[in-house]
Structure 1
């Protein structure tokens, strides 16, 4: 008899939890952009068009041949510019072998963090999850994940857990800072304790984990640090003042971290990934609607997880900006103030929490974890 195969529990997406949507609901600008990237904007496809025209004996002087040539050259230059830009911005990718990596994920019991942790757990990687929520030992063994009960907003707790992880799994080389909470309240309704709790979990936790785990990465001469922020860090929003402020702080922190690692003598092979997703279909903002499903679709956490995992395993630095609008949202800041007011009114970012029924005077929604 061969060795017994370990059964891994898997919960498939339950489509019946979502209402049936018409076909055009799934037609978004993100889908169109992806199709274009793999077709008319792809250099190989552009040159295939030129080859096809020549196979039909189309003269070089013909208008369609000239247009195809110019387009293929432009798409090639565009692709080369992208490669050079990424090289200058992020450097050379590092080699990633999951069998030799130790992955630490904060806030990995639910939501986006849980998805990433379970994917790596199923692949027999060394995964440590830091969360305040307890997980049954049997469930942890089934998922192939080691859970540590830890408040990542407490520096001393993180330092102690870091020693345990090194002892149990080895030196951490991949850190995914995902923990986050939200209080849906107006600034006037907030309390000092709620503001402090939000910043401890959403912002200070990143400083605590980086201080604790980065020295091991520097010693190993390799590593990856993932910072999960939010598109709201660029925008701000009514009734989310301290949540958006805590996420905005991460944008500056991550830029400073990149700059410091670029100057460190052994920091070249420590990669950094900044994640600024739009609205995800998690319970954190359940019921909140975007102004346009075509321009600003609500994204599934699995789509964000795939982008993060892809960059981590390629050993690259980079930015995860999904859906498409989150990549260009910073351009809103260069518009005249009057235009910014009109755009905010149209998109409803400052009414979203009220319209979703999450803000009701003094009765506010309790904090929820990612």
Structure 2
């Protein structure tokens, strides 16, 4: 009995393609927080400390035992609270079988979308990519991905592509709205065409795909919708007004979508995932320097993709916010205005595009 093994071309990074960084470059607050989450802040490890003290015949009245017990109880309480909170917020997970799912990814030729498409393609999942870029048929076959040349900002093109997807692969059940565009110009230097194009690709395209693919999910009685936004949607930034405004609109769209699905009895098994990213190492913001590699590291598509795939395949709703500060950036909005301005100045957020030499008329990049 034999089974066919799919050969997948792999291009490993060459050592000279990566800068020779010192070891401390890779030590970030995200790494520290991750390690603490699986050690000192983990309920299981906390109780192991208690057991170790008891193994040494430490009395319960001893100060070190009381501290260890209090810490273990605190971590357990926080853990249980987190589980209850997620249950209330996102409900029970749905069952996901990749062989029965049809995944649609917008902007899936390069960057984060490309990584997700190729990852699922290697696993023989049913993948449909909508992108304006054309992909050679041989390359598509190698990757195990079906590409449809489509401008997602055009509702008619999305509808036509959807009809082909249903005919070729089946009813779409997972939608990853990833396509994005940025114009790095000031408000005064921007044109009406620049702003309109940014909103059509970054925001209106989501309405096009939702109106087209959500009915299929409702009919199937299951689905997952991923909205890729940006931390800049909370902050805004100089020379990125159209981009940040379009990403802020996605935050409101995501919450509105969740509210409408909650009112629809046919949408109980439709999950939603909000992705809020800081700076990611893609072509879109190539050349932009992070103000602090320790506090605000540049995340890779692999890191983001791993978290998105985990939630999709667990059948869960949720949020993916990377790096760490992205999870708590909304706290900045409740601080006094003077403190907010000081934080912005220290972070260099409003000067990043100018320092990278990207603040120019008609300077645009696509994902």
Compute the TM-score of the two structures, normalised by the length of structure 1.
0.97
1:186 aligns with 2:183: no
- Separation in 2 of the partners of 1:329 and 1:264? 31
Following superposition, the deviation at residue 359 of structure 1 comes to 1.6
Partner of 1:297: 297
1:292 Cα deviation from its structure 2 partner: 0.8
Question: 2:365 aligned to 359, 365, 368, which one?
Answer: 368
SS at match of 1:266: helix
Q: Deviations over 1:132-184 (max 9, x none)?
A: 00000011011000000100000111111111111110010000000001111
Aligned match of 2:269:
269
| 8-17 vs 308-317, which moves further | 8-17
Q: Secondary structure at the match of 2:182?
A: strand
Question: Residue by residue, what CA displacement relative to the aligned partner does 1:47-96 show, whole Å, maximum 9, x if unpaired?
Answer: 01111111111111111111111111000000000000000000000010
The Cα shift of 1:6 comes to: 3.2
What is residue 54 of structure 2 aligned with on the other side?
A: 54
Tell me how far 1:13 sits from its aligned partner. Answer: 2.9
Query: Quick one: structure 1 residues 168 and 347, their matched pair in 2 at CA, closer, same or farther if it must change by over 3 Å?
Result: same
Measure, in 1, the Cα distance between the counterparts of 2:168 and 2:74: 53
**Aligned counterpart, 1:236:** 236
Unaligned segments of structure 1, at least 5 residues: none
TM-fit CA distance, 1:3: 6.4
SS in 2 for 1:103: strand
Q: 1:357 maps to what in 2?
A: 357
Counterpart for residue 201 of structure 1: 201
TM-aligned CA deviation for residue 17 of structure 1: 1.6
Residue equivalent to 2:219:
219
**CA distance, structure 1, for counterparts of residue 16 and residue 34 of structure 2:** 27
1:154 aligns with 2:154: yes
Q: 1:321 aligns to what SS in structure 2?
A: strand
Q: 1:74: which partner in 2?
A: 74
How many angstroms apart in 2 are the aligned matches of 1:4 and 1:42? 42
CA-to-aligned-CA distance 1:308-331 (integer Å, 9 cap, x gap): 011100100000001000111111
Report SS of the residue matched to 2:266.
coil
Deviates more, 1:29-38 or 1:8-17: 8-17
Count the aligned residue pairs.
367
Where 2:340 maps in the other structure, the secondary structure is: helix
Shift of 1:8: 1.0
Q: Which residue of 1 aligns with 2:34?
A: 34
The Cα of 1:2 is off from its aligned counterpart by: 5.6
Gaps of 5+ in 2: none
Between the aligned partners of 2:53 and 2:354, the Cα distance in structure 1 is: 57
Aligned partners of 2:58 and 2:341: how far apart in 1? 53
SS of residue matched to 2:227: strand
Counterpart for residue 65 of structure 1:
65
Partner of 2:245: 245
2:93 maps to which residue?
93
Residue of structure 1 in register with 2:118 after alignment: 118
TM-score normalised by structure 2 residue count:
0.98
The Cα of 1:16 is off from its aligned counterpart by: 2.0
Quote how far apart the aligned CAs of 1:100 are.
0.4
Aligned to 1:95, the other structure's residue is in SS state coil
